[in-house]
A and B are shown apart, each in its own frame.
Chain A
Amino acid sequence: MAVTAVFMLWLRDLVAVIMLSGIYSLFAAMIYVVMDAVDVAFTEAAVGAGVATVLMLGTLALTRQGTEKVHKTISWGPLSLVLVTGAVLIYGTLDMPRYGDPNAPVHSHVAPRYIERSASEVGPPNIVTSVLASYRGYDTLGETAVVFTAAIGVLVILGRRNRRQRKKAKREDAT
């Protein structure tokens, strides 16, 4: 996964970058499966590898900018910023519960109720679904609204003018 990411950084051919980002998503999804997050994997596969890739290709097709301009190899300002951020994050991890530790607070505070009582309180055997739709159904409403916003937003930004308007615009561009 890391290798893919780094290659995305190096490559200038945007098509390749996009394809690699698809692969990156697939790998991420695989890791999710390994870490028991099947629903997430499901979504990541559909979204990251599918929707996002297709959309990016579409954009690329529309912009016709196949390759990226050549830039200086390393920009130090951003790099140092990134390193600082990374360092803070690593620093932050030092006190974290270890990976997979069943006694971590994450597993002992709120979540147990979902696991223990979801079946009797909500019903569906898929606990993620019951959290998603019932316990935290409001978040999902928000999520739906976000999707709605994005779709309408794309429509607003790119919404096609009808033929007549398009012709007129073209004439203006020509002059």
Chain B
Amino acid sequence: MMHQKSVLRVVSKLLIPPILLFALYVQFHGDFGPGGGFQAGVIFAAGFILYALIFGVASARRVIPAAATRALLSLGVLLYAGTGVASMLMGAEFLNYSVLAATPLAGQHLGILLVELGVGMTVTGAMVTIFYTFAAQPGGDELPRNKQNNPDEGAKT
């Protein structure tokens, strides 16, 4: 299909690693600039979706299997809630991170890091899961071949 569109393929291959890197930057730099777990998760997923768009969902699935996205999704929520429970176990209120480390400020920092990570994991997992599910629909992989030859048809509408 898109094998002949080598410009796209090359550009994407070049772009995806920076995108993922950018996602990590957003994830961990959220304390200082705009951004945080949610945005990072979206970007991470976006990079991945880009990969799937260009190279096909099948190969994307080989990189991250569907089950893994689901696990990621669940673990993210658990990590977040688990942080809360951990602080409860350490004798403070739910989600009171101050007790997680030696000083309250360090505890807060650690807590925020953890929960942001949880959010990021969940969002990444969620976005990829949703994308997979949509892409795997019967209509999505069984294209009417005749439309391919006549791209103008879409344009006229």
Direct A–B contact in the complex, CB atoms closer than 8 angstroms: yes
A-side residues, CB < 8 A to B, are: 13, 15, 38-39, 41-43, 46-47, 50-51, 54-55, 58-59, 61-64, 66-67, 120-126, 128-130, 132-134, 137-138, 140-141, 143-145, 147-148, 150-152, 154-155, 158-160, 166
Query: Judging by beta carbons under 8 Å apart, are B112 and A51 in contact?
Result: no
| Residues of chain A within 8 A of B32, CB atoms compared | 124-126
Judge whether B43 is part of the interface by a CB distance below 8 angstroms.
yes
In the assembled complex, the CB of A25 is this many whole angstroms from the nearest CB of chain B, namely 13
Query: Judging by beta carbons under 8 Å apart, are B139 and A159 in contact?
Result: no
B-side residues, CB < 8 A to A, are: 30-36, 38-39, 42-43, 45-46, 49, 70, 73-74, 76-77, 80-81, 84, 94-95, 97, 104-105, 108-109, 111-112, 115-116, 118-119, 122-123, 125-127, 129-131, 133-140, 154, 157
Taken together as a complex, chains A and B put the C-alpha atoms of A147 and B38 apart, in Å, by 10
Q: Which residue of B has the minimal Cβ distance to A170? A: B138
Taken together as a complex, chains A and B put the C-alpha atoms of A143 and B112 apart, in Å, by 15
In the assembled complex, the CB of B114 is this many whole angstroms from the nearest CB of chain A, namely 9
Contacts A39-B35, A141-B80; is A154 near B130 (CB within 8 Å)? Answer: yes
Query: Judging by beta carbons under 8 Å apart, are B42 and A50 in contact?
Result: yes
17 new A-B pairs (CB below 8 Å) besides A38-B33, A150-B126?
A: A15-B157, A39-B34, A47-B42, A50-B46, A51-B42, A54-B131, A55-B130, A61-B139, A120-B105, A124-B31, A126-B31, A126-B32, A129-B36, A129-B112, A132-B36, A134-B97, A151-B127
| Residues of chain B within 8 A of A126, CB atoms compared | 30-34, 36
Taken together as a complex, chains A and B put the C-alpha atoms of A54 and B53 apart, in Å, by 11
Taken together as a complex, chains A and B put the C-alpha atoms of A17 and B2 apart, in Å, by 26
| Residues of chain B within 8 A of A64, CB atoms compared | 139
Taken together as a complex, chains A and B put the C-alpha atoms of A159 and B134 apart, in Å, by 9
Query: Judging by beta carbons under 8 Å apart, are A159 and B133 in contact?
Result: yes
Query: Judging by beta carbons under 8 Å apart, are A158 and B129 in contact?
Result: no
Q: Which residue of A has the minimal Cβ distance to B126? A: A151
| Residues of chain A within 8 A of B31, CB atoms compared | 123-126, 129
Taken together as a complex, chains A and B put the C-alpha atoms of A141 and B115 apart, in Å, by 8
In the assembled complex, the CB of A71 is this many whole angstroms from the nearest CB of chain B, namely 17
Query: Judging by beta carbons under 8 Å apart, are B136 and A39 in contact?
Result: no
Contacts A42-B34, A61-B140, A144-B119; is A124 near B76 (CB within 8 Å)? Answer: no
Query: Judging by beta carbons under 8 Å apart, are A148 and B73 in contact?
Result: yes
A-B contact pairs, 23 of them (CB 8 A): A15-B154, A15-B157, A42-B34, A43-B42, A58-B131, A58-B135, A59-B134, A64-B139, A67-B157, A121-B104, A124-B112, A126-B31, A133-B115, A133-B116, A138-B95, A141-B80, A150-B126, A150-B130, A151-B125, A151-B127, A154-B129, A154-B134, A160-B137
Query: Judging by beta carbons under 8 Å apart, are A158 and B125 in contact?
Result: no
Query: Judging by beta carbons under 8 Å apart, are B95 and A141 in contact?
Result: yes
Query: Judging by beta carbons under 8 Å apart, are A63 and B133 in contact?
Result: no
Contacts A63-B139, A133-B116; is A151 near B42 (CB within 8 Å)? Answer: no
